[in-house]
Amino acid sequence: MYSSIEVHDLYNNSNNLEEHQVNKEVICDKQRIALIILFIIGPPTVSLSGVEAKQDIWLAVIFSMIMGLPMMFIYCRLHNTFPNKDLFDIIEICFGKFIGKVIIIFFTIHFIITVTTILRNYGEFITTVSFMKTPLIIPMICFGSLCAYVIIGGIEALERWGSIFIQIVVFFTFILILLLIPNMNINNIRPVLSNGIKPVLQGASKLYSFPFSQLVVFSTIFSSFKRKISPYRIYFLGLLIGGIIIFVTFFSVLLTVGIEDISGLYYPTYTAVSRIDITGLERTEILSGILFSLGGFVKMSIHLLAICIGIAKIFRITDYRLIVIPITLMTINLSYLLWDSTMDFYEFDGEIMIYFAFPFRTILPILTFIIVEIKKKQNGSVQA
């Protein structure tokens, strides 16, 4: 940390750091918002988290969105303070070359662990609800290979895919919710706050960790924006729209299934959709599985891209695309080998991952933001 150097000088001198500048790809605001929405509403809308809140889980969703707002502000301020820089660049600028590289290494390791949980979750879902006799590794290889293929094409390929499928995902999500209305029971949300506010806050902390705190990954792949207001528009609209969809989904599943059944299910949304009973309309839960897969695909692809960018910066690799395939193969193997059983995986993902991820998703961005703001206040030479 260089407390005596002005932020303006830090920013200017960062251009002379002996580091590789990864190719900058610019996409429009609407496409980035679509990516964030798909990222948020993927796995959480099938495997509901925050069940600690019991029948007040819908309140936990609202609280978790509020908890995510300050982090969105931090990402936006950092983007505007350091134009054309991603979070990896900003960390090295603020903490110095050596300490910054160490932090980037650990940050990248965190993303690797996150990708393994996403990929394993997808594999467990497929083999549990559809292909029970299929070896777990098969869907993970297929899913990982598809993500690698898209990432090799660059983030522009991913955003084009996202801008098309966001409409399909949102449309079918609300169609399924409408079809669930006959099965809903308003008594499933009563009594409200019967156990006090503490369970709601516990559930909100889980929901904040998954998925809202995961949005930090976008700060590592977003760098160039068309307008100064763009980061605010992208992050806050993405959080709001994605959060509303999660709220409506959680509320609908709670009314349909009830908290007692939700607590004992891995995929309560899939179970709720399977209860749709309309003449001539069968196996609607397949749509739920497709929506889960699309959201999981975006989430894994974004994290995989962040890993490749981080490693490229650490080892000064010319183009992150050169390492996409070996990184993908590594994450597939880790996803398969790290956990001995489904129970082991869900115990780690539900109870341990939240503590492992908190320093990287919350503490580090806040610390970086504080350092930048202190230097800016002392010197007043950077227009944020």
Nearest to 65 by CA among 231, 195, 236: 236
Distances from the Cα of 13 to the Cα of 5, 9, 220, 327, angstroms: 10, 6, 20, 31
* pLDDT score at 270: 84
In the block, which residue shows the tokens 């007040």? 56
Domain definitions of the chain by residue range: 26-365
Burial of 373 (0-12, 13-18, 19+ CB in 10 A): middle
**Distance between CA atoms of residues 200 and 196, nearest Å:** 8
* Per-residue exposure over 86-116, b if at least 16 CB sit within 10 Å of its own CB, e if not: bbbbbbbbbbeeeebbebbeebbebbbbbbb
* pLDDT score at 291: 81
Q: Are 136 and 336 in contact (CB under 8 A)?
A: yes
According to CATH, the topology of domain 26-365 is Amino acid/polyamine transporter I (1.20.1740)
* pLDDT score at 169: 85
Burial of 22 (0-12, 13-18, 19+ CB in 10 A): buried
DSSP state of 195: T
* pLDDT score at 11: 42
CA angle 78, 82, 85 (to 5 degrees): 100
* pLDDT score at 282: 65
* pLDDT score at 3: 43
**Distance between CA atoms of residues 142 and 277, nearest Å:** 32
* pLDDT score at 16: 41
Distances from the Cα of 87 to the Cα of 223, 260, 313, angstroms: 8, 42, 12
Q: Which amino acid is at 24?
A: K
* pLDDT score at 279: 61
0.75 cut: is pTM over it? yes
Write the DSSP assignment of 257-285 as a string of letters: H-HHHHHT-S-HHHHHHHT--BTTB--TH
Q: Work out the angle between the directed axes of helices 155-180 and 29-41 (0-180°, nearest 10).
A: 50
Q: What is the residue-level pLDDT of the chain in tens, covering all 384 positions?
A: 444 444 444 444 444 433 333 344 456 888 999 999 999 988 777 777 888 999 999 999 999 999 999 999 999 999 999 988 999 999 999 998 999 999 999 999 999 999 999 999 999 988 888 788 889 999 999 999 999 999 998 888 888 888 888 888 888 888 888 888 988 999 999 899 988 999 999 999 999 999 999 999 999 999 888 888 999 999 999 999 999 999 999 999 999 999 888 888 888 888 888 888 776 566 677 777 888 888 889 999 999 999 999 999 999 998 999 999 999 999 999 999 999 988 899 889 988 999 999 999 999 999 999 999 988 887 765 444
CA angle 147, 150, 152 (to 5 degrees): 105
Q: Which amino acid is at 233?
A: R
